């Protein structure tokens, strides 16, 4: 009898733990973590990689994956999702990137901070956290995009690393609201924009295309089991009719998501906004809240 009573209790405790609420960081100014480790970019092409590293559990495997694949190793900017501050710094330091990381919340399943980062071979001249509308049904988790303006040889490019809520966490209309928040933020600024990340849907591309973005990774295939949820959208940059892009199929256990990469023609300096002075980011290390 005692065993019969014990098992339902264990199940209830497990379910309660699985639905424990996140601790959100409502301050748009932080926490903020950043570091300066960039090495020069010798490839004239402008390359973008997005990778959801699943609670940042295997940063060393992610580093090995970047080094193994030329398309990833040659990235000018990298958008990372589901990151913790120590893992972001480890990856940036090992691969030679400046970075900025804004956790959106403390996540019970991650047992640590949970958010997005932008890594860049070019100076990050401006950055901020864009808090997205609607919290998830059970976790009450807040989502946010990490935004960095990078100075690519004198031309400013605004990069959004984002991770929209899951289909189970919010409605389709609410996820459209999250996409619209990014589109509207980009519309307030004159420079070209790159929006990269885990969108937890494929149809969300319609919202970006209506706003003038090119879906540069259309038709590449599944990035998470049966789903094509990881994308790169570009606005204001020259994009060929058939962009050079791809998916790294074997992640070597680094994540359940597959990285997505995009290669664009070199950016010329014409039409770019003047570069801003670098915001202090803690040379050689990370800064907390």
- Of 147, 161, 217, nearest to 189 by C-alpha is 147
Q: Considering the domain boundaries, does residue 105 fall inside one? A: yes
Is the pLDDT confidence value at 11 over 90? no
- According to DSSP, the residues that pair with 161 across neighbouring strands are 146, 196
Q: Considering the domain boundaries, does residue 1 fall inside one? A: no
How far, in Å, CA of 161 to CA of 182, rounded? Answer: 10
Is the pLDDT confidence value at 269 over 80? no
Residue 283 — very low, low, confident or very high, per pLDDT cuts 50/70/90?
very low
Return the pLDDT at 281: 40
Answer for the pair 84, 113: CB distance below 8 angstroms, yes or no: yes
Return the pLDDT at 18: 57
CA 114 from chain centre, in angstroms, equals 11
Residue 24 CB burial class (10 angstroms; 0-12, 13-18, ≥19): buried
Is the pLDDT confidence value at 258 over 90? yes
Q: Considering the domain boundaries, does residue 12 fall inside one? A: no
How far, in Å, CA of 52 to CA of 62, rounded? Answer: 10
Q: Which domain holds residue 150?
A: 22-264
Q: Which residue has the tokens 């609410």?
A: 174
If one counts the domains in the chain, the total is: 1
Residue 132 — very low, low, confident or very high, per pLDDT cuts 50/70/90?
very high
- Of 243, 251, 252, 193, nearest to 219 by C-alpha is 243
pTM comes to 0.87
The CB density around residue 57, as the number of other CB atoms within 10 Å, is 15
Q: Which residue has the tokens 């999250």?
A: 178
Q: Considering the domain boundaries, does residue 283 fall inside one? A: no
Q: What is the pLDDT of residues 26-68, one digit of tens each?
A: 999 889 999 999 998 888 999 999 999 998 899 999 999 999 9
Tell me, what DSSP letter sits at residue 171? Answer: -
Q: What is the pLDDT of residues 62-73, one digit of tens each?
A: 999 999 999 999
Q: Considering the domain boundaries, does residue 6 fall inside one? A: no
- According to DSSP, the residues that pair with 144 across neighbouring strands are 131
If DSSP codes are grouped into helix, strand and coil, which group holds residue 80?
Answer: strand
Q: What is the pLDDT of residues 91-125, one digit of tens each?
A: 999 999 999 999 999 988 878 899 999 999 999 99
How do 46-52 and 244-247 pair as beta strands? unpaired
Q: Considering the domain boundaries, does residue 111 fall inside one? A: yes
- Alpha-carbon distances of 157 from 96, 148, 184, 230, rounded to whole Å: 19, 8, 16, 20
Return the pLDDT at 6: 41
Q: Considering the domain boundaries, does residue 114 fall inside one? A: yes
Find the DSSP H helices in the chain. Answer: 2-18, 59-68, 70-73, 85-95, 172-187, 205-210
The whole-number average pLDDT for the span 63-87 is 96
CA 266 from chain centre, in angstroms, equals 22
Q: Considering the domain boundaries, does residue 282 fall inside one? A: no
CATH classification of the domain holding 235: 3.60.10.10
Q: What average pLDDT does the chain have?
A: 87
Question: What proportion of the chain, given as a percentage, has pLDDT over 70?
Answer: 86
Q: Which residue has the tokens 């959208």?
A: 233
């Amino acid at each position: 009898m005692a065993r019969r009573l014990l098992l339902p209790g264990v199940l209830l405790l497990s379910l309660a733990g699985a639905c424990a609420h996140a601790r959100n960081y409502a301050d748009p100014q932080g926490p903020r973590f950043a570091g300066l480790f960039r090495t020069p970019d010798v490839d004239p092409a402008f390359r973008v990689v997005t990778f959801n590293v699943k609670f940042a559990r295997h940063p060393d495997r992610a580093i090995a994956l970047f080094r193994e694949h030329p398309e990833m190793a040659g990235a000018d900017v990298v958008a990372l999702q589901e990151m913790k501050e120590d893992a972001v710094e480890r990856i940036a330091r090992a691969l030679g990137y400046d970075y900025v990381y804004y956790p959106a919340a403390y996540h019970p399943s991650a047992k640590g901070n949970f958010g997005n980062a932008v890594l860049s071979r070019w100076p990050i001249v401006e950055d901020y956290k864009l808090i997205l509308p609607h919290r998830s049904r059970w976790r009450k988790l807040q989502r946010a995009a990490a935004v960095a303006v990078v100075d690519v040889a004198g031309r400013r490019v605004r990069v959004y690393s984002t991770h929209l809520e899951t289909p189970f966490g919010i409605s389709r209309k609410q996820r459209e609201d999250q996409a619209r928040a990014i589109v509207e933020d980009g519309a307030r600024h004159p420079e070209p924009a790159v929006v990269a990340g885990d969108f937890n849907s494929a149809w969300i591309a319609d919202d970006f295309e209506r706003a003038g973005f090119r879906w540069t990774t259309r038709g590449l295939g599944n990035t998470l089991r049966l789903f094509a949820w990881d994308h790169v959208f570009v606005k204001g940059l020259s994009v060929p009719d058939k962009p050079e892009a791809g998916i790294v199929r074997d992640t070597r256990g680094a994540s359940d998501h597959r990285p997505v990469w995009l290669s664009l023609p070199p950016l010329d300096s014409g039409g770019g906004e003047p570069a801003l002075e670098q915001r202090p980011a803690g040379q050689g290390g990370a800064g907390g809240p």
